[in-house]
Amino acid sequence: MIAARTTAILSALPEEQAGLIAQLEQVDVVQRAGRQFWRGRLQGHAVVLGLSRIGKVAAATTTTALIEGLGATQLLFTGVAGGVGPGVRVGDVVVGSGYVQHDMDASPLFPRYEIPLYGRTVFPGDEALTAHLLQAATAVAAHPVAGWSPAVHHGLIASGDQFVNGLVHSENIVAGLQALGHMPLAVEMEGAAVAQVCADYGIPFAAVRTISDRADATAHVDFTQFVTEVASVYAQRIVAQFFKTL
Ligand code: SAH
């Protein structure tokens, strides 16, 4: 028997997830790996919602639980991130093309940033799923939220177990990656881990991040208000648009 498609939607923060839970039909709450997941239907599509938790290991566990225990056959991530690319402003949206771990360094045994034993540095997003998500994000961006019209960017997302809130720190991350030919648009703390687990299982993955800060000294100030007022609205609209056209 061919299993039906189940789309997992991972959110980084409860504020982003609340709107999705509210729209869910035939809800069934499931506990797994010390986490809570919401199974149900969103616009007729089988989905399972979860919080990634913060950081790479937590997000990897969540992803594994979704695939092994909850039958996820494709995975969508919605979250927030710090903008580090030129012209990537607070309120903009970044759809990942690929995912790199900016804090991975097993040199000189392996080249800096390369994931040991995988022979690769960047895990690409699934092409079809990413194209679809990019389309949904672009459609949503055409309608301003709280007077803001976001630009939609498509490019590399860098993950690490660090909340980047200093200009020197963010410049170092960008310079290090750029020296090896990688130009990140945004930094966050989960995407590359989720992408790696999805690659291990052969599960299509795509992610969209609303830029909540510029990864500088004001990052924590912008963050909370932005998540509730803007990012959660985008996440909800982009997911709705994603399923409307799936
Ligand atoms: N203050 C928050 C903690 C957020 S940690 C709280 O109260 O829970 C930051 C989260 O947003 C992570 O999930 C990460 O993926 C993302 N993020 C947003 N801006 C970031 C930045 N500048 N650096 C790293 N991660 C960032």
Backbone angles phi, psi at 88, to 5 degrees: -95, 100
| Distance from residue 189's CA to the centre of ligand 1 (Å) | 7
What is the length of the chain?
A: 246
- Domain residues for the domain of 152 are 7-245
| CATH number assigned to the domain comprising residue 61 | 3.40.50.1580
DSSP track, 182-219:
--EEEEESSHHHHHHHHHHHT--EEEEEEEEE-SSTTH
The residue from 92, 188, 190, 213 that is catalytic is 213
**64 located within any domain:** yes
Q: Which two tokens stand for residue 246?
A: 């799936």
For the CA of 191, the nearest atom of ligand 1: 15
For the CA of 52, the nearest atom of ligand 1: 13
pLDDT reported for residue 106: 98
Number of structural domains the chain divides into = 1
The residue from 16, 92, 114, 190 that is catalytic is 16
**1 located within any domain:** no
**70 located within any domain:** yes
CA angle 122, 226, 212 (to 5 degrees): 25
127 a catalytic residue: no
For the CA of 12, the nearest atom of ligand 1: 13
pLDDT reported for residue 1: 43
Residue 144 and residue 175 in contact, taking contact as beta carbons nearer than 8 Å: no
Give the pLDDT of the chain (246 residues) as one tens digit per residue: 445 899 999 998 888 888 889 899 999 999 999 999 999 999 999 999 999 999 999 999 999 999 999 999 999 999 999 999 999 998 899 999 999 999 999 999 999 999 999 999 999 999 999 999 999 999 999 987 777 778 999 999 999 999 999 999 999 999 999 999 999 999 999 999 999 999 999 999 999 999 988 988 877 776 777 777 788 888 889 999 999 988
**107 located within any domain:** yes
Ligand 1 contacts (CB < 6 A) are 12, 54, 79-82, 163-165, 187-190, 212-213, 215, 219, 223
**114 located within any domain:** yes
pLDDT reported for residue 111: 97
Going by the DSSP 8-state scheme, the letter that residue 26 receives in this structure is E
pLDDT reported for residue 3: 53
213 a catalytic residue: yes
Which residue is it, tokens 């924590």? Answer: 220
Q: Where in the chain does DSSP place strands (E)?
A: 7-11, 25-32, 35-42, 45-51, 74-83, 93-101, 122-124, 152-159, 184-188, 205-213
**2 located within any domain:** no
**183 located within any domain:** yes
Q: Considering the entire predicted model, what is its pTM? A: 0.94
**84 located within any domain:** yes
